[in-house]
Amino acid sequence: MDKSNLYLQLAIILLAFGYSQSLDCYVCSSHNNTDCSEIFDKENTKIQPTTCDIYDAKYCIKTTGLYEGKIGVLRFCSSRKFEDYCDYVKRVGDSRPLRSCVYACSSDGCNRGDKLSNVNSLLVFTSSIIFMAAYFK
């Protein structure tokens, strides 16, 4: 087997590995768990990422805003891609607007919120470099 064929097979294995794993996300609500607050201390929390149990889960989501009449944070799995955004919402009777945000990411445990990252992008980049090295050699 020549080296370029070996590199190509390695790139395919890396890509398949990255996209065949199930996704693990933080799933919690600050309403019933104080560890799930806006500032997420992953070193001192009992909350751990759990395997998503919804069909075709590809994203971990973190939202901040008003839920059931209380300001809070929700973290959950989703099969739907939400765009990252923040907006100010003012309800009738409120003295000032409330900042509400949605953050989406697609790697394990990325929705803790301190820095959302995407490990799959690194995997695709690495696989692409290996593929190009094999192809253009």
Domain range enclosing 32:
3-135
Using pLDDT thresholds of 50, 70 and 90, give the confidence band for residue 128: very low
> What residue type is 25 in one-letter code?
C
Query: Which has more pLDDT, 38 or 52?
Result: 52
> What rounded mean pLDDT belongs to the chain?
76
Query: Which has more pLDDT, 121 or 76?
Result: 76
Using pLDDT thresholds of 50, 70 and 90, give the confidence band for residue 125: very low
Using one digit for the tens of pLDDT, what is the confidence trace for 44-56? 888 999 999 999 9
Q: What is the tally of structural domains in the chain?
A: 1
Please state the separation of Cα 90 from the chain's center in Å: 28
Angle, CA 57 vertex, CA 52 and CA 130 arms, to 5°: 105
Using one digit for the tens of pLDDT, what is the confidence trace for 77-98? 999 988 999 999 888 888 888 8
**CATH number of the CATH domain containing 109:** 2.10.60.10
